[in-house]
């Protein structure tokens, strides 16, 4: 049951991130100057680059949890 809940939460956060605006102040200013369509592409690229470090941290955390549970 816990495994299914964890998988559901992971996929749920991946589905929600499409709507998240993840830009720093410099990126926001640059995106405003580019226009609407390139700004959406830039935002999608930032989210895409964010997924790899989060996946690595999740994998390391899962392995740590799995090895330390008694």
Between CA 32 and CA 22 the distance in angstroms is: 14
State in Å, rounded, how far the first CA of the chain is from the last one: 18
Averaged pLDDT, 1-30: 70
Residue 17 clears pLDDT 70, i.e. is over it: no
Q: What is the dihedral of CA 42, 15, 65, 57, to 10 degrees?
A: -10
The pLDDT, as a whole number, for residue 21 is 58
Residue 15 clears pLDDT 70, i.e. is over it: no
The pLDDT, as a whole number, for residue 58 is 92
User: What are 27-68's pLDDT values in tens digits?
Assistant: 777 777 888 888 788 878 888 888 889 999 999 999 998 998
């Amino acid at each position: 049951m816990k495994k299914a809940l964890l998988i559901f939460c992971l996929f749920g956060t991946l589905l929600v991130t499409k709507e998240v605006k993840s830009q720093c102040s410099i990126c926001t200013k640059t995106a405003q100057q580019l226009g609407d369509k390139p700004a959406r592409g830039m935002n999608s690229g930032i989210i895409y680059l964010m997924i790899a470090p989060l996946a690595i941290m999740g994998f390391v955390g899962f392995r740590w949890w799995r090895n330390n549970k008694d």
